[in-house]
């Protein structure tokens, strides 16, 4: 059964365009990061603090902070300062070309029950 699943993932990966694979690999295989990307992709105007993301996604704040920082460095999320009294919020801000790649990969995830990590681990250039 596990072998069949692995074969299905490989077949799926072979149908993902190379530029999409490269961009997705660049973003990394963290399931938490992809959960954040998915959340913001489908809620692009959301401004949440890490604390609010933690409650909303049911994830540990420290795990989210690490993924948020990585996604800021990779120009997927943007940090917005609200002054000294209020906590920073984060919003979705990838370049247009990246949006297309993210959309295609999220569609693959949506159509399957495979985790991002499971799919990315089978990329040929990994």
Kindly report the CATH number assigned to the domain that includes residue 64: 1.10.10.10
3-state secondary structure 9-51: HHHHHHCCCHHHHHHHHHHCCCHHHHHHHHHHHHCCCCCECHH
Among residues of the chain, what percentage have pLDDT more than 90?
66
Domain region containing 115: 2-120
Domain count, the chain: 1
Q: Does residue 126 belong to any structural domain of this protein?
A: no
Residue 113: which residues within 8 A CB-CB, separation 6 or more?
none
Q: Does residue 125 belong to any structural domain of this protein?
A: no
Q: Does residue 88 belong to any structural domain of this protein?
A: yes
**pLDDT digits 0-9 by tens, 19-72:** 999 999 999 999 999 999 999 999 999 999 999 999 999 999 999 999 999 999
- Look at residues 88, 85, 82 and name the one whose alpha carbon lies nearest to residue 68: 88
- Whether this prediction's pTM lies above 0.95 is answered by no
Q: Using CA atoms, how far apart are residues 75 and 90, in angstroms rounded to an integer?
A: 12
């Amino acid at each position: 059964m596990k072998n069949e699943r692995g074969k299905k993932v490989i077949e799926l990966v072979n149908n993902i365009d190379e530029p999409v694979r490269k961009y997705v690999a660049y973003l990394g295989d963290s399931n938490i990061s992809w959960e954040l990307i998915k959340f913001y992709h489908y809620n692009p105007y959301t401004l949440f603090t890490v604390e609010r993301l933690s409650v909303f996604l049911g994830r540990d704040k420290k795990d989210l902070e690490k993924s948020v920082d990585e996604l800021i460095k990779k120009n997927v999320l943007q940090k917005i300062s609200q002054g000294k009294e209020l906590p920073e919020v984060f919003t979705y801000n990838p370049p247009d070309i990246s949006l297309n790649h993210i959309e295609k990969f999220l569609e693959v995830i949506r159509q399957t029950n495979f985790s991002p990590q499971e799919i990315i681990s089978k990329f040929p250039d990994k």
